[in-house]
Amino acid sequence: MKQSEIKNLSSAELQEQLSQLQKTYAELKTAHAISPINNPLEIRGVRRSIARVATEITKRELQ
């Protein structure tokens, strides 16, 4: 998810997106621990998306 897409979301949508990404990240980590997944770079992408969403949430709280 790109930063420009994240900026257009409402606060409620950001919270929902964050929880969905965290769930996806946990599932990917579990699947990768059991047997290697085809594209391990997907884990990094999800982790970075979580960071982008969390940063936007924090930015909005501080304003």
User: How far apart, in whole angstroms, are the C-alpha atoms of residue 50 and residue 52?
Assistant: 5
| Domain hosting residue 18, numbered range | 3-62
Task: Give 9's contacts (C-beta < 8 A, 6+ positions apart).
Answer: 17, 56
User: How far apart, in whole angstroms, are the C-alpha atoms of residue 38 and residue 57?
Assistant: 31
- Yes or no: say if 57 and 14 are a contact pair by the CB < 8 Å rule: yes
pLDDT classification of 1: cutoffs 50, 70, 90: confident
CATH number at residue 13: 1.10.287
Averaged pLDDT for residues 13-38: 96
Averaged pLDDT for residues 19-25: 98
Per-residue confidence (pLDDT) for residue 2, from 0 to 100:
87
pLDDT classification of 61: cutoffs 50, 70, 90: very high
Q: What is the mean pLDDT of the chain?
A: 95
Helices (H), 2-40: 3-7, 11-34
- Specify the number of domains making up the chain: 1
